[in-house]
Amino acid sequence: MSFSRQRPLKYALIGFGAIGRRVVETLNGRPGRPAILEGILVRDLKRVASTELPAKVMVNIVDLLVARHPDIIVECAGQEAVSKYGPRILRAGIDLMVVSAGALTRRSTFEELMTAASDGGGRIVVPSGAIGGLDWLAAAKLAGLTDVVYRARKPARIWACSRAENAHLSDLREERMFYRGTVREAAAAYPKNVNVAAAVALATLGFDRTRVELIATPEEGDNCHEVEAVGDAGSMRIKIRGKPDPSNPNTSVITGHSVAQCLLKQSATIVL
């Protein structure tokens, strides 16, 4: 929850898929224009030529940084966009919101972004995305956490499409856990499906100590996210059933709303 200041936040998007559209729809529906979309960066103008776009579209990151100079740029185009554009954005002193948090599990990308942020003064902002409870987890980390596990349950069809060797999952008859590992290991194996796990790891024990379990279900349905944590402050178990976005079943409807809420917090007077 947030209550905005008078000055609207100026933001830009990298990519304009399901998440980007949801962000714009959500913010444009708020009274008083709390945030203004300054531009959209895409790789290929031809791919959006037939799309009605809510802001100026460009293919050059320099145009976005210099001509529009937003307060924050939201990456919602995949992990490669984080490594390709992130350092330049941060060195320009502009904040970068990383939706594809799995990109941060790559040591080289993480180090380059951290150096760029230190050099330019921009901040790396990671929204909670499809999960909840990160505030409790981050506080519990300060008290002392001993064990954290993240579980993702998705229809077998989604996992089967993510790796060729998972083709056998397409004919599942019962729920099956098919992967266990650390967040860093899971990110290398399933880069498009562990952004939530990466956010949990950042809030808790890090990429090499936070554990991941991936589960395939035979029926179509919601994307389920579960976190269990144990530490000196107590224990927590949270389970969320997120509705898949109709235009991209790999992401949840709530993800775009989470990004929008995170943007509102950047210029809020009261932040919860």
Q: What is the pLDDT of residues 170-210, one digit of tens each?
A: 677 888 898 999 999 999 988 888 999 999 999 999 999 99
Give the residue-averaged pLDDT of 18-33: 89
Catalytic one among 69, 168, 225, 257? 225
The domains found in the chain, sorted by start residue, are 2-130+254-271 (3.40.50.720), 134-250 (3.30.360.10)
Active site residue 225: yes
Give the residue-averaged pLDDT of 225-248: 93
Pairing of strands 268-271, 2-4: antiparallel
CA distance 126 to 123: 10
CA distance 218 to 127: 30
User: Any bridge partners for residue 181, and if so which?
Assistant: 212
Give the residue-averaged pLDDT of 79-94: 96
CA distance 181 to 189: 10
Residue 212, pLDDT > 90, answer yes
Among 92-101, 222-231, 263-272, the least confident range: 263-272
Q: Name the percent of the chain lying above pLDDT 90.
A: 64
Q: What is the pTM of this model?
A: 0.91
Q: What is the pLDDT of residue 141?
A: 97
Q: What is the pLDDT of residue 3?
A: 47
What does the block give as tokens for 68?
Answer: 């529009």
DSSP state letters, 41-96: E-S-GGGGTTS--SS-EES-HHIIIIII--SEEEE-S-HHHHHHHHHHHHHTT-EE
User: Any bridge partners for residue 4, and if so which?
Assistant: 268
Closest CA to 255 of 142, 131, 118: 131
Closest CA to 198 of 227, 219, 172, 236: 227
Closest CA to 214 of 269, 159, 143: 159
Tell me the torsion sign for CA atoms 31, 35, 39, 44. Answer: negative
C-beta of residue 223 within 8 angstroms of C-beta of residue 153: yes
What amino acid is encoded at 237 in this protein?
R
6 — pLDDT class (breaks 50, 70, 90): low
Residues with Cβ < 8 Å from 231, sequence gap 6 or more? 140, 141, 143, 144, 145, 146, 147
Residue 165, pLDDT > 70, answer no
Query: pLDDT per residue over 99-158, tens digit each?
Result: 999 999 999 999 999 999 999 999 999 999 999 999 999 999 999 999 999 999 988 887
What does the block give as tokens for 75?
Answer: 């990456």
Mean pLDDT of the chain: 90
